[in-house]
Amino acid sequence: MIIPLPFRLRLNRWGTIIFSCFVCIGQVIFALGGIVNAFWLMEFGRFVFGIGGESLAVAQNTYAVSWFKGKELNLVFGLQLSMARIGSTVNMNLMGWLYSKIEALMGSTGHTTLGVTLMIGGITCILSLICALALAYLDQRAERILHKEQGKTGEVIKLTDVKDFSLPLWLIFLICVCYYVAVFPFIGLGKVFFIEKFGFSSQAASAINSVVYVISAPMSPIFGLLVDKTGKNIIWVLCAVAATLASHMLLAFTLWNPWIAMSLLGVSYSLLACALWPMVAFVVPEHQLGTAYGFMQSIQNLGLAIISIIAGMILDTRGYLFLEVFFIACVSLSLLSVVLLYLVNRAQGGNLNYSAKQREEIKLSHTE
């Protein structure tokens, strides 16, 4: 939750490599905890993993906005989300199969089999480190060829920059938090919801629950390209939040097949990420991008931590209907924030809602 902000490492190639090393080391410790049956060691491994993972996400976003400008940025964020969701989908469907294969090979179940499975899964963390090294080489090469200022990609996250954040940026933060707290906690609790309300089997409920990630993998780059070609980021965010609100209302107040609502949620979730996250780069000076994305990541994690606890309490005491009403309230607040962002942005010149053609004309005028 708080790791992305106080880490004052420069968000350049060395920072990315160091964060990737934290991820690798954390996963190894986590797996070793499983092998030796030490739960405290597994918890420590997740802590180390989180230090690297959360900060690496900020470094990744900072790299993206440093390398890609203007109309390319929405597609880049769409591709980032797509790869993340592909990884999530592969993990959900592959780790159980891998565990069963190792169980058959070792002839036993239990913590040792789990630890070995987690250790093999850690290979993906090594691949991430290799990508960080390759990216560092490419960034250094580009710096040399393009005669960029030494270390320009790097940036120190400064909490003092927060006081300079504009009202549109704070509204973007609010949209982000209120939206994602109605998606991830719901998916975490959704399997039992589909079993209890709709009478699905455990396997069918898992399939429905994972459809959001399955849809977002191919749709995210498509929506990113669409937003790149059209612009109008605020309008697309408005459409995504409204569609998510409709999805939760269908799940709460109707008995329609939940595949409809979850498919709609998957589409809207993909669209929002492609249109919302790039807007930060439109309202923040380049030297504050790392701080802005770090703060956005941190308050999102804070919101998820708090709302997950509240959602569990509501579910235990009031049931799924009240939980869905709570999620609807969160999405409604996000929708209200989008409307406010539209009005504030319009009063300040409307750059967040420029069309792609307008942005291209402004870019050309600045180069002349």
CB atoms inside a 10 Å sphere around CB 287: 12
What region, left, alpha or beta, does residue 350 occupy, with left being phi > 0 and alpha being psi -120 to 50 degrees? left
List, for residues 138-183, the tens digit of each pLDDT value: 888 877 776 665 444 445 555 666 777 889 999 999 999 999 999 9
Q: Can you tell me the mean pLDDT for 325-348?
A: 96
Q: Give the pLDDT band of residue 233 (cuts 50, 70, 90).
A: very high
Q: Give the pLDDT band of residue 67 (cuts 50, 70, 90).
A: confident
The answer to whether 262 and 115 are in contact (CB under 8 A) is no
- Residue type for position 252: A
The answer to whether 198 and 261 are in contact (CB under 8 A) is no
Q: Can you tell me the mean pLDDT for 187-196?
A: 88
pLDDT at site 33: 92
Q: Give the pLDDT band of residue 268 (cuts 50, 70, 90).
A: very high
Q: Can you tell me the mean pLDDT for 44-67?
A: 81
User: Quick one: tokens of 2?
Assistant: 């708080």
Distances (CA, A) of 223 to 72, 145, 217, 304: 12, 32, 11, 25
pLDDT of 364 higher than 90: no
Domain boundaries, the chain: 13-367
pLDDT at site 248: 96
Average pLDDT, the chain: 84
Q: Is the pTM of this model over 0.85?
A: no
Output DSSP code: residue 161: G
Residue 10 backbone dihedrals phi, psi, to 5 degrees: -70, 135
Q: Give the pLDDT band of residue 213 (cuts 50, 70, 90).
A: confident
365 or 24: which carries more pLDDT confidence? 24
Residue 203: name the closest of 191, 193, 190 by CA: 191
CATH number of 13-367: 1.20.1250.20
